[in-house]
């Protein structure tokens, strides 16, 4: 089995806020991320797939196909958008880095031809990232 | 509940000298090379901490970053940043290699950080050298 990782980038706005909580509670738990005016990040996405090397092509997956599926399912939906306001899965779910990794996993899991999705890693900043492996 | 892994990087600058009393001066020079120069030298270290746990269905978080940052600042960064590692009590009889620093930081975090599982500590000494410690995994591969 061989692992193959493809990177992609998107830039998006978000805030962390739970409507059922008071302003004070939101600020206590989420700090400056609770500001309803939102803020943004340049995210880096790493998608790792696992599979056997095709003896003829030498590929684990067709890289172009993987790039296209990431572009279509994730980048076109998330890039230059407000995650809370414009991306359906975050209407009622806080768009933390952890939840973004889980949401991207769900978007990609059944759409990768010929290989198994192994890990989704989302960098919110170079010093902070979350991994989801379907566990 | 869905399990995610969260990683965070911290920075500290410290000096050290690789030297052990158990070797002769010649042996120290042979084993540690320029790292054995008598007055020490320093690095900008990066410490990467990976924790895991279920994603809280309300907050969407594995752990609150400000708690993790507060812990790391108080227990790791304040202790080692702008310090001489050889003078830290944990290196009184242990050579402050980055392997040993990595294991010491793992020990501090695993003993003190509540509510999440520590998966791994990675310490980068330079952009080309890094070390990882994931604790004792006695049952693995048995």
How far lies A79's CA from each of A10, A42, A71, A86, B15, in Å? 5, 9, 10, 11, 43
Q: Which of A1, A26, A3 is nearest to A133 (CA)?
A: A3
Range of the domain at A86: 2-132
DSSP for B25-94? HHHHHHHHGGGG-TT-EEEEEEEEEEEEEEPPTTT--SS-HHHHHHHHIIIIIHHHTTEEGGGSGGGSSS
Q: What is the pLDDT of residue A103?
A: 98
State the catalytic residue, choosing from B16, B19, B82, B104.
B82
For residue B38, is pLDDT > 60?
A: yes
A50 in Cβ contact with A118 (< 8 Å): yes
Q: Do B62 and A98 touch (CB under 8 A)?
A: yes
Each residue's pLDDT expressed in tens, for chain A with a length of 135 residues: 999 999 999 999 999 999 999 999 999 999 999 999 999 999 999 999 999 998 888 899 999 999 999 999 999 999 999 999 999 999 999 999 999 999 999 999 999 988 999 999 999 999 999 999 999
How many independent structural domains does chain B possess?
Answer: 1
Q: What is the pLDDT of residue A5?
A: 96
Is there a domain that residue B23 lies in? no
DSSP 8-state symbol, A92: S
Residue A101's CATH number: 3.30.479.10
Largest CA distance in chain B: 61
Is there a domain that residue B29 lies in? no
Is there a domain that residue B112 lies in? yes
Average pLDDT of the residues in B109-115:
93
Neighbouring-strand partners of residue A50: A3, A116
* pLDDT tier at B142, thresholds 50, 70, 90: very low
For residue B101, is pLDDT > 90?
A: yes
Is there a domain that residue B109 lies in? yes
Range of the domain at B97: 3-16+42-133
A29 in Cβ contact with A99 (< 8 Å): no
State the catalytic residue, choosing from B35, B48, B119, B132.
B35
Q: Do A18 and B62 touch (CB under 8 A)?
A: no
Residue B108's CATH number: 3.30.479.10
DSSP 8-state symbol, A69: H
Q: What is the pLDDT of residue B117?
A: 96
A9 in Cβ contact with A43 (< 8 Å): yes
Is there a domain that residue B138 lies in? no
Q: What is the pLDDT of residue A113?
A: 87
Is there a domain that residue B99 lies in? yes
Is there a domain that residue B36 lies in? no
Residues present in chain A in total: 135
Interface probe, candidates A25, A83, A98, chain B, greatest B C-beta count within 10 A:
A98
Show Cβ contacts of residue B99 under 8 Å, excluding neighbours closer than 6 positions: B131, B133
Render pLDDT for B43-93 as a digit per residue (tens, 0 to 9): 999 999 999 999 999 999 999 999 999 999 999 999 999 999 999 999 999
Estimate the crossing angle of helix B98-112 against helix B65-72, to 10 degrees: 130
* pLDDT tier at B136, thresholds 50, 70, 90: confident
How many independent structural domains does chain A possess?
Answer: 1
Is there a domain that residue B80 lies in? yes
How distant is the Cα of A18 from the closest Cα of chain B, in angstroms?
A: 8
Q: What is the pLDDT of residue A57?
A: 84
Q: What is the pLDDT of residue B138?
A: 53
């Amino acid at each position: 089995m061989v692992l193959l990782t493809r990177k992609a980038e998107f830039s998006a706005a978000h805030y962390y806020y739970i409507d059922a909580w008071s302003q004070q509670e939101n600020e206590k738990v989420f700090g400056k991320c609770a500001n309803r005016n939102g803020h943004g990040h340049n995210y880096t996405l790493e998608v790792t797939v696992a599979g056997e090397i095709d003896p003829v092509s030498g590929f684990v997956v067709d890289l172009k196909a993987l790039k296209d599926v990431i572009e279509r399912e994730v980048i076109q939906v998330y890039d230059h958008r407000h995650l809370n306001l414009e991306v359906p899965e975050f209407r009622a779910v806080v768009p933390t880095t952890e939840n973004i990794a889980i949401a991207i996993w769900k978007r990609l899991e059944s759409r990768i031809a010929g290989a198994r999705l192994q890990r989704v890693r989302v960098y919110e900043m170079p010093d902070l990232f979350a991994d989801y492996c379907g566990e | 509940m869905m399990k995610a892994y969260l990683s965070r990087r911290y920075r500290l600058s410290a000096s050290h000298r690789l030297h052990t009393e158990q070797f002769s001066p010649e042996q120290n020079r042979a084993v540690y090379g320029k790292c054995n120069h008598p007055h020490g030298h320093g690095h900008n270290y990066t410490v990467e901490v990976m924790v895991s746990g279920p994603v809280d269905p309300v907050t969407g978080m594995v752990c609150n970053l400000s708690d993790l940052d507060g812990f790391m600042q108080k227990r790791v960064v304040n202790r080692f940043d702008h310090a001489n590692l050889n003078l830290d009590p944990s290196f009184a009889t242990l050579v402050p290699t980055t392997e040993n620093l990595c294991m010491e930081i793992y020990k501090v975090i695993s003993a003190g950080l509540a509510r999440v599982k520590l998966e791994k500590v990675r310490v980068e000494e330079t952009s080309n050298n890094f070390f990882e410690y994931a604790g004792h995994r006695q049952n693995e591969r048995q």
